[in-house]
């Protein structure tokens, strides 16, 4: 077997193992939550008999290991179960929400990734000078501020004071692409500010590390322009760590949008999860957690594979 195929197969097997472990942790975490699902559905006036009947109907009267393997078997067949609060199929309800979240994350990624790489190249080109200091200071500030605070600051200035963008990110069927872009402009701005700083700083650090190499000194002795050396010689050899940090931040854009979606009342996976956590709808919480874990693990696997393909040294660790 080719070494690259063998390494990719090992990464995929490790990813499946991690996803299985994540499913176990998600199931255990939802089972130890305080409160009773049947009690929350029927209310405080429910009789013991009605509570027992509802628990039997929901399958809550069987042992936890049996419930876990039944849940896992359903997932392997594409069945995420039904919501306890309204009886709707979770996969159907989640599909539209997941599409909204991916749309939001994609819009932020299209802006953040090229901007982070460009700013990283500029910061390296003017290392130690005022452009580098300005870029590093601003990105450090955006990384340090929590996303919910950035969201409220953006709402106050851009929505309330200037009235440039809507404070609520409302999307629905029938909207044109331009209308959707305008509706999600505020959460996209916040997500870009959150992930841009981290990606830029890691890009800058990776390129500066490569700039100490002998071939970069040779290119400088040839009289090549500084930006040409950085873009054509240093950056391609620093692509592996850059890809890793980009993929991690892309995973955050999908998994970490919960707070941003709640701030802007965006109908995505995060808002869907929070709504059902408050209702203690365990199957929905489990399904959302597993989808988030699968996305995060999948994007990290992509980062590993791209790093292996981009860096020949990773194919021969010995």
Domains along the chain with CATH numbers: 90-275 (1.10.3720.10)
What pLDDT does 168 receive?
78
Q: Is the dihedral of CA 156, 158, 161, 167 positive or negative?
A: negative
What pLDDT does 117 receive?
82
CA–CA separation, 90 vs 289, rounded Å?
13
Check if the beta carbon of residue 200 is closer than 8 Å to that of residue 182. Answer: no
- Token pair 């916040």 is found at 190
What pLDDT does 36 receive?
63
Segments of the chain with pLDDT less than 70: 1-4, 33-46, 51, 54-55, 57-61, 233, 237, 240, 310-318
C-alpha angle 211-117-208 in degrees, rounded to nearest 5: 15
What pLDDT does 2 receive?
67
CA–CA separation, 209 vs 2, rounded Å?
31
* Structure letter (DSSP) for residue 156: I
**Global confidence as pTM:** 0.75
What pLDDT does 58 receive?
65
């Amino acid at each position: 077997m080719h070494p690259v195929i063998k390494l990719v197969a090992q990464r995929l097997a490790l990813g499946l193992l991690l996803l299985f472990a994540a499913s176990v942790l998600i199931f255990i975490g939802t089972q130890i939550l305080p409160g009773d699902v049947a009690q929350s559905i029927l209310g405080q006036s429910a009789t013991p008999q009605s509570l027992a009947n509802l628990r039997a109907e929901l399958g809550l009267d069987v042992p936890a290991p049996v419930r876990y393997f039944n849940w896992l078997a359903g997932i392997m067949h594409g069945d995420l179960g039904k919501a306890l609060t309204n009886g709707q199929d979770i996969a159907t309800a989640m599909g539209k929400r997941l599409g909204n979240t991916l749309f939001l994350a994609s819009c932020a990624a299209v802006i953040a990734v090229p901007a982070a790489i460009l700013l990283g190249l500029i910061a390296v080109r003017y290392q130690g000078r005022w452009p580098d200091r300005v870029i590093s200071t601003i990105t450090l500030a955006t990384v340090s501020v929590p996303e919910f605070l950035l969201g409220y600051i953006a709402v106050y200035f851009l929505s309330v004071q200037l009235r440039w963008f809507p404070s609520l990110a409302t999307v629905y069927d029938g909207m044109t692409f331009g209308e959707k872009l305008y509706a999600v402009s505020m959460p996209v701005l916040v997500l870009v500010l959150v992930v841009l700083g981290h990606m830029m700083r890691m890009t800058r650090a990776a390129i500066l590390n490569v700039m100490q190499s002998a071939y970069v000194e040779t290119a400088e002795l040839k009289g090549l322009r500084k930006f040409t050396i950085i873009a054509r010689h240093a950056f391609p050899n620093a692509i592996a760590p850059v890809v890793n940090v980009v993929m991690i931040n892309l995973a955050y854009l999908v998994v970490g949008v919960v707070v941003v979606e709640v701030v802007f009342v965006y109908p995505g996976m995060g808002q869907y999860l929070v709504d059902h956590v408050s209702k203690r709808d365990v199957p929905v919480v489990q399904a959302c957690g597993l989808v988030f874990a699968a996305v995060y693990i999948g994007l990290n696997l992509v980062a590993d594979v791209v790093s292996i393909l981009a860096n020949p040294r990773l194919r021969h660790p010995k």
